């Protein structure tokens, strides 16, 4: 992997983290290509496996601690307590590992099924769409300059006092009235009620 590519993927990882409160898994799958998603899923699996290790380690320590209790009643209680707490943790972490493994398999399958050329084209189009400045979209009657961009009335809710902030450095938005935020593609999806690919096409159309 060349440096540029690895930087790109790192940036995507950052973007993924930043986008987490904003995007549900379903949107994420629409938003990123499988090739972009794969390293994120792999990072998540890695995290889950580390957590699993940690759980095993902690449980081992707790069990050693329990063995030292002399009072039999306390010992029985402690054992039950451990069982109920750890059974849940164990189930949850194993579910999580399975979940990410499944998604990795899905992404790998999708990558295999998409020709490299189509993939590059798709990524290029998405990048192009993301470059359309939010403030250039026809949804705002009055834009007021702020240090980081603009503030205006929110096109997503009945907004009498401007609460829709546009951040020009990241070309993203956040509305403090209806708590919706994201990038330019997400905004078009919300306003025009379009699925991801259609919103991308709409934006690329504007850009021409």
User: Could you tell me the smallest distance in angstroms from the CB atom of residue 205 to Zn ion?
Assistant: 25
User: Could you tell me the smallest distance in angstroms from the CB atom of residue 172 to Zn ion?
Assistant: 14
In the block, which residue shows the tokens 């021409």? 208
User: Could you tell me the smallest distance in angstroms from the CB atom of residue 149 to Zn ion?
Assistant: 16
Query: Residue 166 class from Cβ within 10 Å (0-12 exposed, 13-18 middle, 19+ buried)?
Result: buried
| Residue 5 or 138 having the CB closest to Zn ion | 138
- Given the rule CB under 5 A, which residues bind Zn ion? 154, 156-157, 175, 177-178
CA 129 distance to own-chain centroid: 19
| Residue 113 or 158 having the CB closest to Zn ion | 158
| Residue 100 or 173 having the CB closest to Zn ion | 173
User: Could you tell me the smallest distance in angstroms from the CB atom of residue 111 to Zn ion?
Assistant: 37
d(CA 27, CA 15): 14
| Residue 13 or 177 having the CB closest to Zn ion | 177
d(CA 47, CA 13): 13
Using alpha carbons, list the distances in angstroms from residue 101 to 23, 54, 105, 170.
20, 19, 6, 32
């Amino acid at each position: 992997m060349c440096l540029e590519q690895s930087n790109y993927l790192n940036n995507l990882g950052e973007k993924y983290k930043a986008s987490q409160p904003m995007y549900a898994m379903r949107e994420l799958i629409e938003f990123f290509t499988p090739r972009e998603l794969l390293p994120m899923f792999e990072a998540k699996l890695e995290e889950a496996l580390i957590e699993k290790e940690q759980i095993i380690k902690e449980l081992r320590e707790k069990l050693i601690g329990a063995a030292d209790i002399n009072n039999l009643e306390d010992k029985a209680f402690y054992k039950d307590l451990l069982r109920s707490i750890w059974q849940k943790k164990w189930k949850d972490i194993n579910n999580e590992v399975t979940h990410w493994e499944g998604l990795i398999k899905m992404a790998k399958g999708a990558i295999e099924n998409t020709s490299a050329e189509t993939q590059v084209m798709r990524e290029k189009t998405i990048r192009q769409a993301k470059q359309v400045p939010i403030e250039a979209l026809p949804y705002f009657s009055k834009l007021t300059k702020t240090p980081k961009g603009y503030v205006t009335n929110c096109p997503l809710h009945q907004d009498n006092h401007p609460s829709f902030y546009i951040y020009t450095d990241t070309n993203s938005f956040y509305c403090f009235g209806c708590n919706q935020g994201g990038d330019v593609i997400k905004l078009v999806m919300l306003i025009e009620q379009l699925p991801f690919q259609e919103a991308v096409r709409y934006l690329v159309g504007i850009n021409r």
